[in-house]
Structure 1
Amino acid sequence: MRYTRLERNWVMYDVGNSALVLLSTSVVPIYFNAINTGASSAELVTAWANAQTIASLVVALLMPILGSIADFAGNKIKFFIGSFFTGLVLCFAQALPMGALPFLVIYVLCTIGLNSSMTFYDAMLCDITDDERMDAVSSSGYAWGYVGSTIPFMLCLALIFLGPSLLGLETLVCTRLSFVITGIWWLAFTLPLIRTYRQRYAKERRPNQTAASIVAETFVGLKGTVRAILSNRALLVFMIAFFFYIDGVHTVIAMATSYGSALGIDSSQLILALLVTQFVAFPSAIIYGRLAGRVGTLKMITIAVLAYVGIVTFAAFFLQSAVEFWILAILVGLFQGGVQALSRSYFGRLIPKDRANEYYGFFDIFGRYASVMGTLLVSVVTSLTHDPSLGVLSIGILLMLGFVMLVKLSRMPGAAV
C-alpha cells in the first residue's frame, strides 16, 4: 500500500516514541534495580509495578478532559506538542545522576508525557486516513515503530556494553547517556508530523468563545459522550472487553524485564531477547493488518487475546531461565503489535470522527485503568505471596474476561467484524 505524506509522517511518530518505550521496558527497569541497592526481588517488582500504576492512573484521569478540549478546531496539535515536549524534557532529565526515588519520580512524569502524546496521536488516525485504510495504517505504525526503534536501541546497547572498555566510562554513565540518544531520536521523528498535520475533524468554536466557556462545554460534552457510549451497545461491549484484555498486554510489556531481572536472568539476555521481540513484531503487525481485511478485525483481536492467555500461563509456570525468556519474547512479538494496532483502528471505525480525541480519551481510560489494575494486581499478589510468578499468573483471569466479552461482541448484530 502506498502511503500519503501525512500517513507516512504519522507512522514515523511511532518510530520515534517506540524508541523510548523499548528503552523503558528493557534497560530502565534494570537500571532502576541497579541503583536501588539492598532491595529484595519482591520489593523491586512491587516498586516498578507501583510506578506503572501511578503513571497509568494519571493519564487515565486527564485524557477524557484534555481530549475533549483538544477536539476543538486547532487544539489537537497544540496538546500533542505540549505533552510530547514534556515527555522529551523529562527523558533527557533521566540522564542526570540521582537516587532511586528521584529517578522513579522523573520516570513516572516522563511516562505521563509520553502516554498523553500517544493518546492525541491515536486520535489523529481519524484525520490522516479513512476507514478502509485504518487497519493497514495503524498496523504499519506499530510495525515500523518496532523495527525502527531498534536502531537507537542498538546504539544504546553498544554504548552500555562497550563504553566501559572503549571509552573508560562506567556502565551507569553509559546507561544515562542512552536517554540522550533516545530523546534525540524521538525528536527527529516527531518534527515531520508536527509540520504537516492538519486537524480534519473538529468541534467548531463559537465566535468570541472564551477558554472558560470551552472548559464548561467540555464537561457538558463529556456527559453526553458517556450517554452515547452507554447507548451504543457494540461500542460499550468492545470497550469493556478492551479494558480486560489490554491489561494483559500492557502488564506483560511493563513487567517482563523487571520480572526476568528479579528471577536472576542475566541483564544482557533480557535486553537481547526483547530486541528480538521488536524484529518479530515488525512482520507480525503488518501480517495482522492484512489478515484483518480478509477474516475480520474482531476475529484477529480475539485470536491474539487467547494467545496472550497462553503467554501469561507460560511466563508464570515455565519462565525460569534465559531460554524461556527468549521463547516468551518471541511469543509476545507475534501478537503484541497486532492486538494493539487493530484495537486502535477498530475503535476508530466505531466513533464519530469530530469527537475522536474525546472518545479516544475514554478509550485511554479503559486502557490505562486496565494497566492500573494489572500492575496493581501483580504488586498486591506478589507482596502477599512473596512469589512474583503468582503475581504474573493473576492477570490471566482478566485476559479470559476480555476474551469472553469479545466472543459476546462477535455474536451481536451490527457489530463490525
Structure 2
Amino acid sequence: MKFTKMERNWVMYDVGNSALVLLNTSIVPIYFNAINTGASSAELVTAWANAQTVASLIVALLMPILGSLADYAGNKIKFFTGFFLTGVVLCLAQAIPMSAMAFLVVYVLCTISLNSSMTFYDAMLPDVTTDERMDRVSSSGFAWGYVGSTIPFILCIALIFGGPSILGLDTLTCTRLTFIITGAWWLAFTVPLLRTYQQRYGKEREHGAQGVLHNIAKTFTGLLDTCCRIAHDRVLLVFMIAFFFYIDGVHTVISMATSYGAALGIDSTQLVLALLVTQFVAFPSAIIYGKAAGKFGTLRMIIVAVAAYVGIVLFAAFFLKSATEFWILAILVGMFQGGVQALSRSYFGKIIPKEHSNEYYGFFDIFGRYASVMGTLLVSVVTSLTHDPSLGVLSIGILLVVGFVMLVKLSSMQKAAA
C-alpha cells in the first residue's frame, strides 16, 4: 500500500517518539538504578513503578479536557506542538547531572509531555487517512517506529559501551549524552508532520473573548455529553472496558520489563540487547498484524494478542530467572505488542464520530492511562508487601484475563448484530 504524504509524515512521528519510548524502557531504568545507590531491588522496582503511576495518572486527568478543547478546528496541532516541544526540552534536560530524585521528577514531566503528545497524535489518525486504510496506517506507524527507533538506540549503546575507552568519558556521562541523541532524533522526525498536518474534522469555535469563554464552557458540557454517548453505545462501552483491562498488562510489561529484569540480577548488557531484538521482531510483526486484520478482522486479532499476553505474564512470573529467559520474553513481547496497540488505536478510530476524535481519544487515554496506573500500582504494592517482584508481575494476569473475557463478549455482540 502506497502512503499519501500526510500518512507518511504521520507515521514518521512514530519513528521519532519511539526512540524516547525505547530509551525509557531500556537504558533509563538502568541509569536510574545506577544513580540511586544504596536502594534494594524491591525499593528500585517500587520507585520506578510509582514514577510510572504518577505520570500516567496526570495524563489521564488532563487529556479529556484538553482533548475536548483540541477538537475545535485548528486547535489539535497547537496542543500537539506544545506538549511535543516541552517533551523535547525535558528530554535534553535529563542529560544534566542531578540527584536520583530530581532526575525522577524530570523524567516524570518528560513522560507526561511525551504521552500527552501521543494522545493528540493518535487523534490525528482519522484526519490523515480513511477507515479502510486505518488498520494498515496505524500498524505501519508502530512497525516503522520500532525499527526506526533502533538507529539512535544503537548509537546510544555504542556510546555507552565504547565511550569510556574511545572518548575517555565515564559511563554515566556517556549515558547522559544519550538523552541529547534521542531528543534530536525525536525533533527531526516530527518536523514533517508539523509542516503538513491539516485537521479535517473539528468542531466550529466562536471567536473573541466571550467566544473563548463559551468554548471552554461547551468543553465541559461536551464531556458530559460524550460520557452519555459512550454509556449508550454498547459496542464502544464494552470495548473501552476491555481495553482498560487488557492494555494494563501490555503497558505494565513494557514499562517494567527492564526494571524487573535488573531486580532479578540479569546483566544490564543482556537486558538492553534483548530489548533491541524486541524492536526488530516487532517491525514485521506489526505489519503482519495490520494485514491479518484485513483478512480475519481487527477485533479477532486483538483477542489473539491479549491471549498471548496472558501467556507472556505467566512466563515472566514463573520462568524468568536468567538472561536466556529474558531474551525469550523480549521476542514474545515483540511479536504481539505492536499489533495489539496499533489495532486498538485503529479499531477505536473506526467506531467513534470523527469530528469529536480528540475528545473520544481523550477518554480512550483515560482508560489506557488509568489502566497503567492500576497495573504499575498493583506491581508496586504487591512487590512491597511480598518483597517478591515475581508476584508483582503475576498480579496483573488477572486484569488481562478480564480484558480477554470482555473482548470475547464484544465479539459475540457483533456476531449477534450481524
Matched letter for residue 344 of structure 2: S
- Which residue in the other structure is 2:381 paired with? 380
Q: In the TM superposition, what is the alpha-carbon distance from 1:205 to its structure 2 partner?
A: 1.2
List runs of 5+ in structure 1 lacking aligned partners.
none
What do you get for the CA RMSD once the two structures are aligned?
1.0
User: Which position in structure 2 is the counterpart of 1:241?
Assistant: 242
Cα distance in 1 for residues equivalent to 2:305 and 2:278: 16
Residue 125 of structure 2 is aligned to residue 125 of structure 1: yes
Write the distance in 2 (CA, Å) between the matches of 1:92 and 1:103.
Answer: 12
Alignment of 1:314 with 2:352, yes or no, is no
1:67 aligns to what? 67
Taking the aligned partners of 2:215 and 2:158, their CA distance within structure 1 comes to: 49
1:320 alignment partner, SS class: coil
Q: What TM-score comes out, normalization by structure 2 length?
A: 0.99
Q: Percent identity?
A: 79
User: How far is 1:120 from its partner?
Assistant: 0.1
1:337 maps to amino acid: G
The DSSP-based 3-state class of the residue aligned with 1:300 is helix
Aligned partner letter, 2:205: R
Q: CA deviation at 1:215?
A: 1.2
Q: Tell me by how many angstroms 1:416 deviates.
A: 9.5
State whether structure 2 residue 356 is matched by structure 1 residue 334: no
Deviations 1:118-145 (A, max 9, x none): 0000000010000000000000000000
Tell me the amino acid that sits aligned with residue 46 of structure 1: T
- Rounded to whole Å, the distance in 1 between the matches of 2:319 and 2:371 is 25
CA contact (8 A) 1:234 1:415 kept: no
1:54 corresponds in structure 2 to 54
Structure 2 unmatched runs, 5+: none
The alpha-carbon deviation at position 207 of structure 1 amounts to 4.9
In 1, Cα distance between the equivalents of 2:213 and 2:38? 50
Matched, 1:273 2:274: yes
Asked if the contact 1:11/1:140 (under 8 Å) is kept, the reply is yes
Say if 2:228 is the partner of 1:219.
no
* Structure 1 residue 413, shift from structure 2 partner: 3.6
Q: What is the CA-CA distance between 1:179 and the residue it aligns to?
A: 0.1
Output the amino acid matched with 1:164.
P
Q: Distance in 1 between matches of 2:254 and 2:309?
A: 11
* Corresponding residue for residue 107 of structure 1: 107
How far residue 214 of structure 1 moved from its aligned partner, in angstroms, is: 1.4
Q: In 2, are the aligned partners of 1:409 and 1:415 still within 8 Å (CA)?
A: no
State the 1:213 CA deviation. 1.6
Cα distance in 1 between the residues matched to 2:417 and 2:340:
16
* 1:370 maps to amino acid: A
Q: Please show how residues 16-415 of structure 1 align to structure 2 within 5 Å.
A: 16-208=16-208, 210-413=211-414
Residue 210 of structure 1 and its aligned partner are, at CA, apart by: 2.7
Q: Aligned partner of 2:114: which letter?
A: L
Q: Secondary structure at the match of 2:39?
A: coil
| Letter aligned with residue 350 of structure 1 | I
Q: TM-score, normalised by structure 1?
A: 0.99
| Aligned-partner Cα distance in 2 for 1:131–1:231 | 23
CA contact (8 A) 1:138 1:342 kept: yes
Amino acid of the structure 2 residue aligned with 1:211: V
Number of matched pairs: 417
Provide the C-alpha distance between the structure 1 equivalents of 2:213 and 2:263, rounded to a whole number of angstroms: 49
